[in-house]
Amino acid sequence: MSRGSELSMAVRRALDRYFRDLEGEKPSAIYDMVMNSVEKPMIETVLGKADGNQTLAAAMLGIDRNTLRKKMQQHRIK
């Protein structure tokens, strides 16, 4: 199994559990919930692997360095 499909399966399991735990409640803002849950730890992990080098981390993420900085501010990552 590839790492991408492992990650996809983890997200799928988490969402299945989320829907199961709703117990009749109406779901809302699922996209924002998932993105906010995944984006911060992803950025923190990649920054750690890049030893804090934002240029390298941005390249690893496939985003512009300014975009990385903006996302770091949004998630209060130092």
- Write out pLDDT tens, residues 30-58: 999 999 899 999 999 999 999 999 999 99
Residue 23 is which amino acid? E
CA distance 32 to 19: 15
pLDDT at residue 62 greater than cutoff 90? yes
| The pLDDT of residue 6 is above 70 | yes
The topology (CATH level 3) of 3-74 is Arc Repressor Mutant, subunit A (1.10.10)
Best-predicted range by mean pLDDT (2-11, 24-33, 54-63): 54-63
- Can you give the residue ranges of every domain in the chain? 3-74
Q: Counting Cβ atoms within 10 Å, is residue 68 exposed (0-12), middle (13-18) or buried (19+)? A: buried
R_g of the chain, CA atoms, integer Å: 15
**Model confidence, pTM:** 0.81
Among residues 9, 13, 52, 76, which one has the least CA distance to residue 65? 52
